Chain A
Amino acid sequence: MSLAEEYTETSDDSRLERGLAYVQRNSRAYLLIAPAAVFLLAVVGYPIIETFRLSLYQSPADSNIETFVGLQHYVEIFNSDIFYRLLWQTGRWVVAGVAGKTLLGLLIAVHLKGDIRGRKFFRTAFLIPWGIPYAISAVVFRWIEHPQFGYLNAILLKLGIIEQGIGILGNPSIAWLGVVVADIWIGTPFMAIIFLAGLQSIPQELYEAAAIDGAEKWHQFRYITLPQLKSVVLIATLLSTIWTFVSFDVIWTMTGGGPISSTATLVIHIYQVGLQNGNLGRGAAYSVIGFLFLFVFAIIYLRIYTRGGDEL
């Protein structure tokens, strides 16, 4: 194995022998994780390296010739207006989406917390939007927001809020809102269930003591629920941030990034440039930039996740 060869080059024989003896002693343990490790290296590890490599090459869609261009893609990306527009559009997409999911999820969880009748029914019903294909949710929202035949316009007309049907998804200045609504709808159940689990782990005595002290509902929420829920909220919003950042199916199905790229995010652009237009090099460079964002999120997540220390 190449790993063993590398090892010989950098260390003396006795260390190698000891290392081999160790591996032999634990051979079964290594043998059992090997398939998963090799699989992940091939399907995730290698594409990561391949993406980095591709990002340094010019690869025209119509030929196999790859020309090494160094950091040219990155220079061009950082000097382009598109990149900064994508950052802004991705930012507002993530912030609006995560805020909506968190607040709505919290609202649902707080109301599901008590010993209520039909909790299993409510819990299952609230969970359903999370479990169905994003592409299906997306077409349903596309239908609801349809400028002529959509239910949203019908309701707004009936309530007298608007006088004429509006086409949300066709309007570059508000289309992203039309997509965010669908994304919030899809992501809220996860937040609600995670928050509910967090709420149920708060000791009931805290509330009883507060009630005896005459604390009002709002104060109980402010001084007991929120602080106790802090780490759960942190983890859940962080995960949600990552998922919203990389969300593809919803935007792609609802608008394909349009109209005039107003709903495109960084990942939508990766797909358009790299796969739709076949400019693998440029797409890869955008991917690497996407990695960097994910990397920052991942580090924060790992820090929170392993804070206990004794987990592993």
Chain B
Amino acid sequence: MTMAGHDRSNLRKVRLYGVLIGLLGLMMLPFYAMFSSTLKPESEIFAAPATLVPSDPSIQAYLQVWTQTDVLLWVGNSFIISVGTVVLTLLLAIPAAYSCARNDFVGKRTFLLAVLVVQMFAPVVLIVGLFDVITQMGLFNTYLAVIVPAAAFTLPFNVWMLYGYFKTIPVALEESARIDGASQLQILTKIVLPLTKPALVASVTYTFLYAWNRLLFVLTFLTDSAKYNIPRGVFSMVGALQTDWRMMLTVSVIGIIPLLILFAFLEEYIVAGMTAGAVKE
């Protein structure tokens, strides 16, 4: 490569990373605003105009938040709701996806398309009718009031994701296991599911995130504040007149830490899941 060409490629690199870092900075700005605000003492957070860098950073807010808010309770509830949704969704999705991948039967196409249509049906346009169903089932104000609709709206993604994956597992594997005397259930749990691990991780992550993040169902179907999840808890801290911004932002930071850990470990699966959910191949 000539010197000029080398310079040009270096320049391109500088420009590329410059743009990337600039864009990243833009995307990270809200996190900075959130995090730096929680490090400010009470007097500084209500300074106008805001100080962009905390003048005297302290972790005081993080010590206060445990006694002044229900953050632990909310995180715990979020876990209950998310895990419940994951379990329910998988219990329904795995058999259905497996059946569609292995059998050809009348109504399969209809079922799969109907499932896809459900994904289009956003819960909020159904909320009025759903409210009726939840009350009639006697679920109002129970965790199930949130888990049941969340499972319904994550089911489509899970069915399609697992259906696509099951189809790639050779039938021959299952047949040889059957010859060896394995039962249907054993084949599914001992052979098929272990091979499906990447798809399962993507499914679980997607479902967990969905249930963790949703405000609507908790807002509508849970009035008992002891069952609030993190989004609902944060929402409840927005006061009509006065908002304790410092505590609310601290709760927000704590509420997203589990997700950041999840992201750090499962980034590839999340991306795989997102891509599979929207685009073929």
Binding site for B on A (CB under 8 A): 22, 26, 28-30, 32-33, 35-37, 39-40, 42-44, 46-51, 54, 104, 107-108, 111-112, 114, 116, 120, 122-129, 131-137, 139-144, 146, 148-151, 153-155, 157-158, 165, 185, 188-190, 193-194, 197-198, 201, 232, 235-236, 239, 242-243, 245-246, 248-249, 252-253, 267, 270-271, 274-275, 280, 283-284, 287, 290-291, 294, 297-298, 301-302, 305-306, 308, 311-312
Chain B residues positioned under 8 Å from A153 (CB to CB): 49-50
Query: Taking the nearest CB of chain A, how far is it from the CB of B145, in angstroms?
Result: 11
Q: Given A46-B129, A297-B120, does the pair A157, B215 have CB atoms closer than 8 Å?
A: no
Q: Which of B112, B120, B128, B148 has the most chain A CB atoms closer than 10 A to its own CB?
A: B128
Q: Which of B19-27, B61-69, B174-182 faces chain A?
A: B19-27
Query: Contact at B231–A47, with CB atoms within 8 Å?
Result: no
A125→B31 CA distance, assembly (Å): 11
Chain B residue nearest in CB terms to A155:
B52
Closest to B132 in A: A50
- Whether A236 touches B279, Cβ cut-off 8 Å, given contacts A246-B124, A294-B121, A294-B122, is yes
B255 contact set on A, CB distance < 8 A: 133, 136
Can you list 28 A-B pairs with a CB-CB distance of less than 8 A? A35-B96, A36-B92, A39-B151, A44-B152, A44-B153, A46-B129, A48-B126, A54-B128, A107-B19, A108-B23, A125-B28, A128-B260, A133-B214, A134-B213, A149-B45, A149-B50, A149-B245, A151-B50, A153-B50, A154-B51, A197-B275, A246-B125, A249-B215, A270-B128, A274-B131, A275-B220, A291-B121, A291-B125
Given that A54-B128, A151-B52, A275-B127 are contacting pairs, would A48 and B95 also be in contact in the complex, using a CB cutoff of 8 Å? no
* Sample of 9 further A-B pairs with CB below 8 A, known A43-B151, A44-B152, A54-B129: A29-B105, A37-B111, A47-B133, A49-B129, A134-B215, A136-B234, A275-B128, A298-B120, A312-B113
**Using Cβ atoms and an 8 Å threshold, which residues of chain B touch A291?**
121, 125
State A302–B159 Cα separation when bound (angstroms): 16
A39 to B274, CA, bound (A): 24
